[in-house]
Amino acid sequence: MIRLATRADLVELANLVKEEVACSPYSHLFDASDINVSHLRTVIFNWLHHGYIWIDQRKEGIVGYLIAIREPNVWVPALLTLREFAWYVRPEYRNGISGGRLFLKFCEKGDELIANGTIDAYFTTRMSNTVDYDLESRGFRLVEKLYIKDQ
């Protein structure tokens, strides 16, 4: 079941965010033990109040989430946006519909907020380890790519 997260989900959600960070494309830069779950809970609590966290809740617990934050555009603060900040589904659930259902909730909310004038646009990203799905068929257009140079 896809639903919005609440404060009651903080501990479980922080552990799942830690799982995502630990397997991210830049995880070779740090040790997983460096990830501070207490800090993650604080960050997630702030996200609950400045955006949306949709979770896929199953009987075995939370298996995925999509976090989107409402924020002003950094260059033109009068433009308000909804930005997908993090999107993760546990590997054993990735061949199902969890990720797609989370993304649809994000798009529904983005379309709703544009229609009622709350935001001007919404953004999603694609990590290098993300499945190559067709965003343009959903009305998105490519505006930038993000690269990292590291050790």
DSSP calls for 48-104: HHHEEEEEEEETTEEEEEEEEEEEE-SS-TTSEEEEEEEEEE-GGGTTTTHHHHHHH
**Domain boundaries along the sequence of the chain:** 2-138
How many other CB atoms are there within 10 angstroms of residue 126's CB atom? Answer: 15
- pLDDT at residue 8, rounded to an integer: 95
The rounded distance, in Å, linking the Cα atoms of 77 and 15 is 33
The rounded distance, in Å, linking the Cα atoms of 141 and 139 is 7
- Of residues 121 and 147, the one with the higher pLDDT is 121
- Of residues 48 and 142, the one with the higher pLDDT is 48
The mean of the pLDDT values for the chain is: 86
- The reported pTM is 0.85
Residue 136 to residues 60, 107, 140, 143, Cα–Cα distance (Å): 34, 13, 5, 11
What is the token pair recorded at 13? 């959600």
Residue with token string 């924020």: 71
Report the Cα 148 to chain-centroid distance in Å.
19
Q: Which CATH code, of 1.10.150.570, 3.40.50.170, 3.40.630.30, 3.40.50.450, is assigned to 2-138?
A: 3.40.630.30
